[in-house]
Amino acid sequence: MTASDIIYIVTTVALVQGICDTFANHFIFFSDTYKRYCEALEKARIKRDNTIAQIAENPISVNSKSSAKAKDKQIKRLKQLEEDYQTAVSNVSLRHIIPNVMTAVVFCILYKILSAEYQGKIIAVLPFTPWTFLQRFTLRGVNFDSSFAFEGSRRVPNMEQGCSFLVIYLLATMSVKFMVKQVLGVQPPSGADKGMFSMIDDPRVERVLKSFGLDIDDINEVRKSM
């Protein structure tokens, strides 16, 4: 097993993720703009929840024309507060989506660079022989004519146990990258932690989707089924 290559790949993944998180923290999450959006989100949540609690404690019974108008006014106020809350959620979510997209682009570039560097090479030897359909994954990009030797004169005892760069890279991105993100990254506040789906309830986004002929109810059904 070429331990130096594995350490290099893992270290590179951790370093790149750390750099991405550091830039995101400096330019977005530690900025006054992001803090204001988070404060606006918390205020909108409190205002909406307090109004819902007041309505539950003092329900209006519709038994006259004046009470019906008061009920309609109450419903409109609650709807406006919900829209304000969803707008605040969307503003915060967008600040998390942007660095996530940029990080994904950076890691795509990193994959291309490392893939070219380790093209055709065996990085490690698996302690078992994987199933045939898994070998298409573990041996992806391996040159069967010349790459079944590594660390000088040592050779892979069984070519089916060879492990390509792709396996090591994916394992590193699923483990090391995730751990670095947990340590250095900033987690979105409650309500804005659903990624793109956090923005769909924003009235501004709904109007854009409707302008393209998309049905919001169908999108919500997809969200519930996921």
H helices present in 25-64, as ranges:
32-57
In a domain, 142, yes or no: no
Q: CB–CB of 38/189 below 8 Å?
A: yes
- Coil/strand/helix, residue 178: helix
pLDDT at site 151:
45
In a domain, 134, yes or no: no
In a domain, 9, yes or no: yes
pLDDT at site 138:
73
Structure tokens at 144: 């069967």
What is the enclosing helix (H) or strand (E) of 222? Answer: helix 216-225
Structure tokens at 88: 């605040």
Tally the C-alpha atoms within 13 A of residue 121's C-alpha that lie toward its C-beta: 17
In a domain, 74, yes or no: yes
CA distance 167 to 62: 65
Other CB atoms within 10 Å distance of the CB of residue 111: 16
Which residue, 167, 172, 182, is CA-closest to 14?
172
Return phi, psi of residue 140, to 5°: -65, 125
In a domain, 132, yes or no: no
In a domain, 175, yes or no: yes
Structure tokens at 153: 């004169």
Instruction: Give the predicted TM-score (pTM) of the model.
Output: 0.76
Best mean pLDDT range from 3-12, 48-57, 100-109, 202-211 = 100-109
| Predicted confidence (pLDDT) at residue 49 exceeds the cutoff of 70 | yes
In a domain, 55, yes or no: yes
Number of domains in the chain: 1
Return phi, psi of residue 190, to 5°: -60, 135
Calculate ∠ Cα 41-203-87, nearest 5°: 10
**Domain enclosing residue 105, as ranges:** 3-118+164-198
pLDDT at site 45:
93
In a domain, 10, yes or no: yes
| Predicted confidence (pLDDT) at residue 146 exceeds the cutoff of 70 | no
What percent of the chain has pLDDT above 90?
40
Average pLDDT in the chain: 81
Segment 79-84 long-range contacts (CB within 8 Å, at least 24 positions apart): 81/44, 81/47, 81/48, 81/51, 82/48, 83/203, 84/44, 84/47, 84/48
Q: How many residues does the chain have?
A: 226
